[in-house]
Amino acid sequence: MDRLAYSINEAARVLSMGRTSIYAMIADGRLEAFKLGRRTLIRAESIHKLVSGKA
């Protein structure tokens, strides 16, 4: 089963960016995130779109 979401730290590692940059991209709307309890998760689809240049 494919992964559906990444934590902030996981997304930062996958994208080779810092956590602050990830939060900035969420604020800009370039990454789609949601809250699950206290955790902020980023949709895997959003990361794939960003990497492929479709974001």
> Residue 34 is encoded by which pair of tokens?
């949601």
Predicted TM-score of the model (pTM): 0.86
Domain range enclosing 20: 5-52
Q: pLDDT by residue (tens digit) across 31-52?
A: 999 999 999 999 999 999 999 9
The number of folded domains in the chain is: 1
- Residue 29 burial (10 A CB sphere; 0-12, 13-18, 19+): exposed
Amino acid letter for position 43: R
Q: Give the CATH number for residue 34.
A: 1.10.10
What is the layout of strands, in order, in the sheet containing 39-43?
5-7, 39-43, 33-36
- Angle formed at CA 25 by CA 23 and CA 28, multiple of 5 degrees: 110
Q: pLDDT by residue (tens digit) across 14-34?
A: 999 999 999 999 999 999 999
